[in-house]
C-alpha cells in the first residue's frame, strides 16, 4: 500500500522537468506528461521532487497508471 499524500499538496506540486501535474499511485508521484513519463518517489510521506531521484517509466506502465488513476 502506498504512502498518503495530502490532496492540497498534490494540487500545487508539478513535475520539475515538464511542469505537468502529478498523480499519486502507490509509492510514486507520476507526471501526467506522456513525453517525459517520469515518476518521483514518496518516502515516509514526503515527495522527493528531484529529477536525479526520478525514474522514466516505459510507455506501457505509464498508460496503465494513467488509466488506473483516472478511474
CATH number assigned to the domain comprising residue 30 = 2.20.25.10
Structurally, the chain folds into a number of domains equal to 1
Question: Is residue 54 in a domain?
Answer: yes
Over the stretch 11-49, which tens digit does the pLDDT of each residue have? 999 999 999 999 999 999 999 999 999 999 999 989 999
The parent domain of residue 30 ranges over 7-69
Cα(3)–Cα(57) distance, integer angstroms = 19
Question: Is residue 1 in a domain?
Answer: no
Question: Is residue 2 in a domain?
Answer: no
Over the stretch 46-62, which tens digit does the pLDDT of each residue have? 999 999 999 999 999 99
Question: Residue 23 contacts by C-beta under 8 Å, 6 or more apart in sequence?
Answer: 29, 30, 32, 65, 66, 69
pTM beyond 0.85, yes or no: yes
Amino acid at each position: 500500500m502506498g504512502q498518503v499524500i495530502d490532496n492540497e499538496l498534490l494540487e500545487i506540486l508539478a513535475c520539475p522537468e515538464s511542469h505537468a501535474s502529478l498523480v499519486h499511485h502507490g509509492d510514486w508521484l507520476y507526471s501526467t506528461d506522456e513525453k517525459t513519463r517520469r515518476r518521483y518517489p514518496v518516502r515516509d510521506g514526503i515527495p522527493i521532487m528531484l529529477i536525479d531521484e526520478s525514474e522514466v517509466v516505459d510507455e506501457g506502465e505509464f498508460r496503465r497508471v494513467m488509466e488506473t488513476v483516472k478511474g
